[in-house]
């Protein structure tokens, strides 16, 4: 690991050099009054001062839809794997934490070769948050800052950036960064000040317990009336799933081409709030009620996924679901705090 300082102009030249290379370069850009990750055509378009993006960078590690294999109806098939080198610029710490979780989920047990191949082609340049979004609560979820997973981490310290190089992939990119000098003690102090501020600052909603307490809280809350009370307003639109950086459920479908001889198998994002998410053969839906689906999402985040990944809570506090939910019921903090108030914990 090495830590450097570059001026903002030098960083811009670095981004231009990346764009001119053979890599696909994706960065955060303004879209009207909001922000999104998109292919970067010019370094001028990159916005590291954004608050939050509409969709998380998850769409590059687990695309909305991707082909898994092509087949011939006579039984032959070929696996499809992604090979393009991609650089993602501007990933916030909470989104990095979500990618770190997915890296664990897709590599443990059943190793997902499609996810992992794609992931290996991606170099992540993370950046610390410069301003809080209206619904962020990363400080409550311990994801306001991050210390691993990225290849480079960029922190705005005023007139310049502190750039931490964490991996060999990051080191490879450093060779394109002209003018980088070793970070001074002052620069490191300024970066620490940004981290200290963000640890407490990104908290528009405050969770009334430590995240690590959620599995225990949920153990006692399965029959709680809050699920019915909240879900009464739910449209089952699935927006809270679609914008979430930690939701990784997908559906797999086979599609035969018009020649009736060839086809492809693809996967596409699914969402546990959607009415037919749990429908299986015979048209049996084992989560037919809205309240059951609403509860399931909060149990996934606070209990089921943590059981798979060393207790890490599968909500990183990005706040996107809160913004996306028309019915204003998707806020995990509101639900968990309500349970805290109304559940007896022995
Ligand atoms: S549950 Fe909501 S706040 Fe938590 S990570 Fe998902 S979208 Fe973000
Ligand atoms: S976004 Fe809101 S209304 Fe839509 S499924 Fe999620 S909780 Fe229900």
Query: What confidence tens digit (pLDDT) does each residue in 253-274 have?
Result: 999 999 999 999 999 999 999 9
Nearest CA to ligand 2 atom 8: 234
Nearest CA to ligand 2 atom 4: 237
Does a structural domain hold residue 265?
A: no
Supply angle C-alpha 300, 322, 87, rounded to 5: 80
Q: Among the atoms of ligand 2, which is closest to the Cα of residue 324?
A: 1
| pLDDT attached to residue 346 | 62
Residue 153, sorted as left (phi over 0), alpha (psi -120 to 50) or beta, turns out to be: beta
Domain membership of residue 120 as a residue range = 2-61+82-201
Closest CA to 161 of 149, 152, 171: 152
Does 240 share its domain with 289? yes
Does a structural domain hold residue 228?
A: yes
Does a structural domain hold residue 308?
A: yes
- Distance from residue 242's CA to the centre of ligand 2 (Å): 10
Kindly report, residue by residue over 131-164, the tens digit of the pLDDT: 999 999 999 999 999 999 999 999 999 989 999 9
Ligand 1 pocket residue status of 302, Cβ below 6 Å: no
**Which of 143, 312, 318, 336 most suits a substitution to test ligand 1, by most atoms within 8 Å of the C-beta?**
318
Report CA 13 to chain centroid distance, whole Å.
28
Task: Give φ, ψ of 332 to 5 degrees.
Answer: -60, -35
Kindly report, residue by residue over 28-55, the tens digit of the pLDDT: 999 999 999 999 999 999 999 999 999 9
What's the number of domains the chain is made of?
2
| pLDDT attached to residue 271 | 97
| pLDDT attached to residue 345 | 74
Q: Pick the last residue of a domain from 178, 201, 224.
A: 201
Q: Pick the last residue of a domain from 157, 179, 201.
A: 201
Residue 81: pLDDT band (50, 70, 90) is: confident
Bridge partners, residue 126, by sequence: 91, 153
Residue 343: pLDDT band (50, 70, 90) is: confident
Start-to-end CA distance of the chain, whole Å, equals 45
**Are the beta carbons of 194 and 165 closer than 8 angstroms?**
no
Ligand 1 pocket residue status of 320, Cβ below 6 Å: yes
| pLDDT attached to residue 207 | 97
- Residue 265 CB: number of other CB atoms within 10 A? 16
User: Which pair of structure tokens corresponds to residue 238?
Assistant: 């699935």
Q: Pick the last residue of a domain from 201, 221, 237.
A: 201
| pLDDT attached to residue 75 | 87
Does 48 share its domain with 189? yes
Does a structural domain hold residue 76?
A: no
User: Which pair of structure tokens corresponds to residue 301?
Assistant: 């985040």
Does 255 share its domain with 164? no
Does a structural domain hold residue 337?
A: yes
How many residues are present in the chain?
A: 346
Helix ranges, 273-319 (H): 290-299, 305-308
Judge whether residue 110 has pLDDT over 80: yes
Does 171 share its domain with 30? yes
Closest CA to 300 of 274, 276, 275, 271: 271
- The answer, as to whether pTM is greater than 0.85, is yes
Does a structural domain hold residue 281?
A: yes
- Distance from residue 224's CA to the centre of ligand 2 (Å): 19
Nearest CA to ligand 2 atom 7: 330
| pLDDT attached to residue 11 | 98
Give mean pLDDT, residues 98-117.
96
**Are the beta carbons of 6 and 184 closer than 8 angstroms?**
no
Q: Cα–Cα distance between 334 and 346 in angstroms, integer?
A: 22
Does 221 share its domain with 147? no
Give mean pLDDT, residues 232-245.
97
Does 31 share its domain with 149? yes
Closest CA to 151 of 105, 111, 104, 119: 119
Judge whether residue 286 has pLDDT over 70: yes
């Amino acid at each position: 690991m090495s830590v450097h300082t570059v001026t903002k102009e030098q960083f811009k030249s670095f981004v231009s050099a990346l764009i001119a290379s053979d890599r696909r370069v994706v960065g955060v850009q303004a879209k009207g009054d909001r922000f999104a990750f998109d292919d970067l055509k010019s370094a001028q378009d990159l916005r590291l001062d954004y608050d939050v993006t509409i969709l998380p960078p998850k769409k590059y590690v687990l695309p909305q839809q991707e082909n898994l294999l092509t087949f011939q109806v006579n039984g032959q098939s070929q696996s499809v794997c992604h090979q393009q080198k991609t650089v993602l610029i501007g990933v916030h710490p909470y989104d990095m934490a979500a990618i770190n979780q997915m890296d664990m989920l897709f590599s443990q047990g059943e190793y997902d070769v499609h996810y992992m191949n794609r992931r290996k082609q991606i170099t992540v340049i993370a950046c610390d948050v410069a301003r809080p979004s209206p619904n962020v609560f990363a400080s409550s979820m311990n994801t306001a800052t991050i210390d691993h997973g990225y290849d480079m981490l960029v922190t705005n310290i005023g007139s310049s950036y502190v750039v931490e190089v964490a991996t060999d992939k990051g080191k490879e990119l450093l060779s394109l960064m002209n003018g980088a000098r070793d970070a001074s003690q002052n620069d490191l102090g300024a970066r620490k000040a940004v981290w200290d501020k963000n640890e407490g600052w990104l908290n528009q909603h405050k969770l009334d317990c430590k995240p690590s307490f959620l599995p225990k809280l949920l153990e006692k809350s399965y029959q709680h009336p809050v699920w019915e009370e909240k879900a009464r307003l739910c449209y089952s639109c699935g927006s809270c799933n679609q914008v979430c950086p930690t939701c990784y459920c997908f559906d797999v479908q086979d599609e035969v081409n018009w020649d009736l001889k060839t086809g492809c198998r693809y996967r596409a994002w699914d969402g546990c709030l959607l009415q037919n998410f749990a429908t299986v053969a015979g048209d049996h839906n084992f989560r037919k009620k809205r309240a059951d689906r609403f509860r399931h999402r909060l149990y996934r985040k606070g209990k089921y996924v943590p059981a798979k990944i060393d207790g890490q809570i599968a909500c990183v506090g990005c706040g996107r679901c809160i913004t996306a939910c028309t019915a204003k019921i998707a806020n995990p903090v509101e639900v968990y705090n309500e349970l805290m108030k109304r559940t007896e914990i022995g």
